[in-house]
Every structure is written in C-alpha cells, then in structure tokens.
Structure 1
C-alpha cells in the first residue's frame, strides 16, 4: 500500500517539481546575468526580489485555498462545481491583486526610508516598478495552476512554466546586455522580460482552458455557474490563513534582507546569491508538498482518513530523500557557488560561510512544507496562521537581529535564525496534523 502512495505522489509531484525547477533556473539565470552585469545591480535585485517575493508568496498562499476545494470536489466527481469554483477564485484573486499592488506601490513610494545603501536606489525603483505591474498576472496564473493541479493535471502548469521561463531567460539575455539591436537595459531589462513572460503564461492558460476538450465539463461549470457568496466566502476563509502563513514565512526572509542591507552591499549581494540557492530546495520541496496537498484533499473528500495519514507520512519520506540529495552537492560546492554569480571575491567568501546555516535548516524546511500542505489538504488552515506568527515573528526575526547585531555574527547570524523558525513551524504543523487525523 505504501508503494502505491509513493508512486502516486511521485506521479503527481514530479511534473510540479519540474515546473518549479524551471522557475529556479530562471532565478539562477536572473541572478547570474545581473551579477555579471554589475555587482551593484545584484545587490539592488536582492532587495527588490525579496520584497516582491513576499507579495508573490503571500498571493500564492491565497490561491492555495482553491486546491483543497477543487481536490475534494474532483474526488467526489462534482466537476461542474469545480468550474464554478474556479470562476469565483479568479474573481477573488483579482480583488487581492488590487490590494497587493496598492501595498507594493506604498513600498515604492517609501523605499528611500528603509535604510538601504544610497547607491542602490537608482536601480531599485525602476526595477520594482516593472515587477509591480506584473503582479496581477502572477495571481491569475496561480488561480489556473491550482485548478489544474487540483484535478491532478499537473503536467499543464509544468509545460507552461517551463516555456515561460525559457522565454524569460532569452528576454533577459537580450534586454540586460542589449543584444539583437535592443538597448542595454541592465536590471530594468530583466524586469521587462519577467513582465512579458508572466503575461504570456496567463494567455496560454486562457487559450488552453477555453479551447481544450479536456476541460469541457469544467468550462460548463465556469460559464453556467455564478459568482456567489458561499464559494467566495469559502475561498477567502481558506485562502487568507494560508496567505498569512506563507506570507509570514517569506517575511522572515524578506525582512531579514532589510537587516542584511544595514550590513552593506557585499552582504546584500551575498544574501541574493543565497536566496537563489535556497529557492532550489524550497521550490522542489514545495512541488512535492503540492502533490501531498492534492492527494490528501482527494482522500479527505472521500472521508478516507487512513490514507490521508499515509499520504502525509510517505510525502515526508520523499522529502527527506530530496533534502539529502540536494544538501550533499551544495555542501561540496560551497566554495565555488559565489563565483558562479559574481566576480566579487568578498561575496564568494561570504556565500561559503552562509552555506552552513542554510544546510542546518533544510530538515525544518522540509518538515514544515510537508505538514503545512497536509493541513491544507484537510482544509485545517486557520491554526497555521498562529503557528507561523510564533515561529517567524516571535522566534526567527528577533533571533536574527540578536545573532547579527548583538552577538556580532553579522550576515551569518541572520541566517542562523532560520533553522530555529522553520523547524519550530514544522513541529507545530506536524503535531496539529497528527491531532486532527488521529483515530
């Protein structure tokens, strides 16, 4: 029986992981190209990407509220209701896009007051402006992705993500360095390339959904179903706690980037390199975590609690294997990774130092991702909001400030706080899941 769970999780999860790896490659390519264009632009990208990633992860968390609903309905064969729920999800994500963009515009207008190095501001503001424009397309893409993942059609988002990311990398090369007759735009060119790729990914999803015979029954529900209060309330009841939980997790990294900025451009550039490395592991774990959530929601819709528990346990076993397989090469290459992104030797030395605390939190990261997704699968999301607040705002951020500025450990001290926050979150999610699914 366990072999079946492993096989099904891998069948569902590998396409998601591959799609996430495409996003990782894009992040690597962005950082590599920007870093070799200018170390100053690399530092500016670090600040902007951490702020934008906070908005994106928060928004993605909200869209995850659709997954347990779609998974449960699909598990019961109620496909027209799935289409109607997608319609309401797109509406809810559009409202959220307005809120998120307003918050990011407020950040844009006040970025000069956040204590970042003065020489970075001319690069930060235009790059941030372009990425803000791209945010609504991220939310609309998320709505369609959670729909196709929830009906176990995970290969669709994989191919769209891979295609969009290849286009983005090509656009980066052309616009950052000024190839094929285009002007050399540096960091702003990377932002424009990202904007164009995000628009096109949404367009492709629209074409597929409204023309493919695979989605005929879901289209019927989409067209005939109405925007309605029960669906809207349900999506918000599930989406906001997940958004808050994921937002606080990401905020522990994004707000830490502000503290790193107080240490100077070298520390900030090193932080951007480490974020690019950490996203490799994070995205792979989250791809498998999404498969755990989908499969658990299917079983939960059928009220099969035994298989809900087995799926969560098997998912974590797979996650542990992924942790080991990713940690070993990163450790062995720790003295070389910084040099891939920039020729600045000080950045390379600092990256090698930051690898150690990074490796220490991989177990906690895998634990919290697996059981956070397990809780999403059974639609038990509200308690995660409180657990995340304790883990990231009570434990991680204060610990980072203490280690970095009071203990005097600098950037390494900020990274030493992440194992504490992520592992404590994982333990709380695991205990909650075990309590909710006990016999």
Structure 2
C-alpha cells in the first residue's frame, strides 16, 4: 500500500529541491544578517528582529498573493495553452509590482507605531533606519515572486534557485563590507545589513528575467508584453485566488510576528532568543514550503488533465514525504537545542556574557517546543499547497484564521504574559495553532478530493 505513495518520492523531491534551496536562500539572507548583527550585541539583534517583524507581515501578503500565478500557469501548461500561461504572468507581474509599491508605502506610514509597542527604546531607535531600507526592498522582491511563481508553474524550479543563490552571495559580501566597515568601506552597523538586502533583491529580479529571456522555451512568455491590453477577467481571477492566498500566509506570519512583539514586552533577551528560535524554525519550514509548491504544481497539472484519483494519490504521497522529513528535523532540534543558539552569539564576549547566557537558555526551551511544531507546520503548508492547486482558497483562509487567531494567539498571549511559562508559553500557543490548522486543512482536502472522484 505504501509503495503507491513512496514511488512518487524521488520525482517530488526533484521538483521540490530547487524551490527548497531558493526558499532557504530567502531565509539565509535573514540568517546571515542575524549572525553578523548578533556580533554587534543583543540590542542590535533585537532591532533587526523588530524591523523584520513589520517587513515579514508585508512580505507574507506579497508572497501569498503571488502564489495565485502558479496554479493558473500549471493548469494552462497541463492543458497545453501557452497564451493563457503568458497572460497569467503578465497580469500577475502588474499586480505584484503595484502591491510591492503599496506595501512599501504602508510600512512607512506604520513606522511611528514602534514607539507605542512597549519595546526597549534603544531597540526602536536602531530598528527605524533599518526598516526604511528593507521595506523598499519589498518592491523588487515581490516582482521577483511573480517570475518565480510563473517558472514553478511550468515545473521549472531551477531558475528561481539560481537567482536566489546569486542574491545570497551579493548580500553576504555587502553585509561583511558594510556592517563591520571592512576593506575601507564605511562601518554602517545594521543599516549596512539593510543596504545589502536591498541591492541583493534588485539583482535577483533582474537576473531571473535575464535567465528566462535567454531560454528559447520561455522567451515567448517573458518578452513582448503588451501592458496596454489588460483584461479585467484575468485580473479578477488572479485577485480571486491571490487575495485569499495572501490572507492565509498573513494569518500565519502575523501570529509569529505577534510572538516577536510579545517577546519584546518580556525584554530584549527574550526577544533575541525568540529571533534565534524563529530563524532556525523558518529554515526547516522552507522544506515544507518547497514541497508545498510541488503539491500545488502537480495537483494543478492533474486538475488540468481532469485525473482526480491520480491527483489524490500524488497529493497524499507529498503529505507522507513531508511528515517523514519533519520528524527528522524535530529530532535534530531536540538533540541540538543547547548548541544551536550559540551559533548566533559571541559566547566569548565577557561584556555581554550574562545576556548571552540568558538568551541561550531561553532559546533552548523554545527549540524544544519548535521540535514538536515542525511536524504540524510542515504538514499544514503542504496540504495548503494541494488546496491551492485545486484553486480552493476561500474555506482554507477561514480555517487558517480560526486556527491561528481564535486558537493559537489567545493561548500565546495568556501563557506568555500572565503565567511563569513566559517565552515558552508564547510558543505553546504557536504549536496549538499550527496543529489545529494541519488537522482542519487535511479534512478539507480529503473531502474535496473524494467529492471530485465521486463526481
């Protein structure tokens, strides 16, 4: 019985691994920023965490919205309709660019909120200039997402990976030069980290367009756009899929952002520990995200072919693969919970020794909870990908809202601020929200796929 699922593992991983590496690339930008900034002190690390908390919310809306392009391109590819695929990219690119500009503007308007969030004053002062530059980098990032989702819709997952690898090399090089003022460059601290991120994201969008344009197979899709001819029908379809997808990602990212803010109320060390555990968890989450894209593409293809029993079998094979991989990550987090936080801090720094010791102690407890929610988090995002492949987005949006904001957040808020569990209590709420989401989304997929087969 298992063989009907395990025989798909190799193809699923082949499709997913470039996406995983590309997504890890996005996270590695934050990882590199955190490690380099962590050498400056815990206040600087907490400031990057606070600044990124605003950017992550906006980024979740942009990335979530752009996922609407993938199932439309995958369905067009399954049906052999090139012009429908090109139309999905053109209209998606227009909408993603407008969304990126709008999100940048909204973040600038929200900046003063930082002063009213009970965050440490030195952290807010450091965070504001960092936030301004990283917010601007959202425009090229969300434009890149349009090309990335298009490329993945055609099952060509390598090109976004190449662009992200290049962006990482640029980001890490500029970080080294500008954070610490190496080789005669100005020493800009965390503003240097923000500049590195901005330049890397501009290069990333230009490079993926250059890569796709050079391939004869894709040239017809990515050149000679007629932007004067915009079809309301296609715009409505992308918004109809993209807006609920954006809200799904927003509800999840927003609860993790709330965890950052709640940790800030507990103090800079709790916030720095939260940032370490969050950054490590987000790296393993990218494996789930990569497999989620594989689920979206393969389910979208089978939907185009109208082969619903095969659609269900393929989706279940991806769910099983994700579950097995996440169990491995859970074990690694549990075993390495005391050592992993030390990567982020200068443990030999005598001046900050007490702060660093406390951060490592708190982060180790958070990683124990994170070990358990690896499994829930991976499963829920992959089932969500399969549902997007079916172009079912409205009910899953309601499910994610209930799971994170009616179940997860109240627990995080109460346990974090009103019990002795503090930071650990915040993460127990995250675990409950993710588990509820995984269970309810799987029930939804099971119901829909059975219904399609029976019809």
Q: Tell me, yes or no, whether TM beats 0.5.
A: yes
CA apart distance, 1:223: 4.5
Supply the distance in 2 between the matched residues of 1:159 and 1:186 (Cα, whole angstroms): 28
Which residue of the other structure, out of 16, 20, 42, is the alignment partner of 1:17? Answer: 20
What stretches of structure 2 of length at least 5 have no aligned partner? 348-355
Residues 137 and 199 in structure 1, CA contact (< 8 A), matched pair in contact too? yes
Supply the distance in 2 between the matched residues of 1:339 and 1:6 (Cα, whole angstroms): 35
Shifted more, 109-118 versus 181-190: the winner is: 109-118
Which residue of the other structure, out of 66, 71, 76, is the alignment partner of 1:68? Answer: 71
Supply the distance in 1 between the matched residues of 2:164 and 2:181 (Cα, whole angstroms): 25
Say if 1:257 and 1:220 are closer, same or farther in 2 by CA, change over 3 A: closer
What is residue 197 of structure 1 aligned with on the other side? 200
Residues 245 and 385 in structure 1, CA contact (< 8 A), matched pair in contact too? yes
What is residue 397 of structure 1 aligned with on the other side? 409
**Secondary structure of 1:437's aligned partner:** helix
- 1:191-224 CA distances to partner (integer Å, 9 max, x unpaired)? 0000000000111122233343121332468459
What does 1:126-275 correspond to in 2, within 5 Å? 126-219=129-222, 222-223=225-226, 226-275=229-278
Supply the distance in 2 between the matched residues of 1:2 and 1:119 (Cα, whole angstroms): 53
Shifted more, 208-217 versus 290-299: the winner is: 208-217
- 1:62-108 CA distances to partner (integer Å, 9 max, x unpaired)? 00011110100011111122112111001111221233122211221
Supply the distance in 1 between the matched residues of 2:219 and 2:266 (Cα, whole angstroms): 55
Residues 273 and 341 in structure 1, CA contact (< 8 A), matched pair in contact too? yes
Supply the distance in 2 between the matched residues of 1:306 and 1:255 (Cα, whole angstroms): 40
Which residue of the other structure, out of 312, 315, 326, is the alignment partner of 1:312? Answer: 315
Supply the distance in 2 between the matched residues of 1:8 and 1:338 (Cα, whole angstroms): 35
1:299 aligns with 2:302: yes
**Secondary structure of 2:201's aligned partner:** helix
CA apart distance, 1:46: 1.1
RMSD: 1.5
**Secondary structure of 1:37's aligned partner:** coil
**Secondary structure of 1:123's aligned partner:** helix
**Secondary structure of 2:164's aligned partner:** helix
Supply the distance in 2 between the matched residues of 1:3 and 1:263 (Cα, whole angstroms): 46
What is residue 109 of structure 1 aligned with on the other side? 112
Greater relative contact order, per chain length (Cα 8 Å cut-off, separation 6+): 1
Shifted more, 340-349 versus 261-270: the winner is: 340-349
Residues 129 and 191 in structure 2, CA contact (< 8 A), matched pair in contact too? yes
Say if 1:118 and 1:100 are closer, same or farther in 2 by CA, change over 3 A: same
What is residue 380 of structure 2 aligned with on the other side? 368
What does 1:358-437 correspond to in 2, within 5 Å? 358-437=370-449
TM-score between both structures, scaled by the size of structure 2: 0.93
Supply the distance in 2 between the matched residues of 1:132 and 1:264 (Cα, whole angstroms): 25
1:354 aligns with 2:366: yes
Say if 1:6 and 1:221 are closer, same or farther in 2 by CA, change over 3 A: farther
What is residue 339 of structure 2 aligned with on the other side? 336
Residues 84 and 224 in structure 1, CA contact (< 8 A), matched pair in contact too? no
Supply the distance in 2 between the matched residues of 1:405 and 1:348 (Cα, whole angstroms): 20
- 1:156-189 CA distances to partner (integer Å, 9 max, x unpaired)? 0111111111211111111111112111111110
Residues 28 and 276 in structure 1, CA contact (< 8 A), matched pair in contact too? yes
